[in-house]
Amino acid sequence: DAKTTQPPSMDCAEGRAANLPCNHSTISGNEYVYWYRQIHSQGPQYIIHGLKNNETNEMASLIITEDRKSSTLILPHATLRDTAVYYCIVRPALSSSARQLTFGSGTQLTVLP
């Protein structure tokens, strides 16, 4: 799986958009970008994933650059409950032989009141 680089920590004011960057310069053509988050003392939670087009769901938006070497997860209106560690993971989709997730260090997002 391609390696990802994320800042170790970020702060965001409550109600503002949180933009979390991820670099994945060695991503290959069949690899997707996945985002999970882990709120303190809970199991990781799926947020969103994409291949090359921008994606949006009820939780967040994912912006992937045209060369696919980096992406940004956007939480449009951050709340205190969004304080968590956010993991960017790059892996082939629907690979029957390698379905596990490889977690890096992630970004600790702290939403401030």
Partner 1 sequence: DAGVIQSPRHEVTEMGQEVTLRCKPISGHNSLFWYRQTMMRGLELLIYFNNNVPIDDSGMPEDRFSAKMPNASFSTLKIQPSEPRDSAVYFCASISGLRTDTQYFGPGTRLTVL
Size of the site for partner 1 (CB under 8 A): 24
Per the CB < 8 A criterion, the answer to whether 38 and 93 are in contact is no
What are 63's strand-pairing partners?
72
Which one of 8, 43, 66, 67 is in contact with partner 1 (CB under 8 A)?
43
Does 93 bind partner 1 (CB under 8 A)? Our answer is: yes
Which one of 14, 32, 69, 108 is in contact with partner 1 (CB under 8 A)?
32
55-84: contacts with partner 1 (CB under 8 A): none
Does 102 bind partner 1 (CB under 8 A)? Our answer is: yes
Does 105 bind partner 1 (CB under 8 A)? Our answer is: yes
What are the residues whose beta carbons fall under 8 Å from the beta carbon of 10, sequence distance 6 or more?
Answer: 18, 20, 107, 108, 109, 110
Q: Compute CA distances 42 → 4, 37, 45, 53, whole Å.
A: 23, 10, 9, 30
Does 3 bind partner 1 (CB under 8 A)? Our answer is: no
Collapse the DSSP code of 81 into the 3-class scheme (helix H, G, I; strand E, B; otherwise coil) and give the result.
helix
**Strand pairing category for 107-112 and 61-64:** unpaired
Does 53 bind partner 1 (CB under 8 A)? Our answer is: no
Q: Which stretch binds partner 1 (CB under 8 A): 3-11, 23-31, 34-42, 64-72?
A: 34-42
Does 101 bind partner 1 (CB under 8 A)? Our answer is: yes
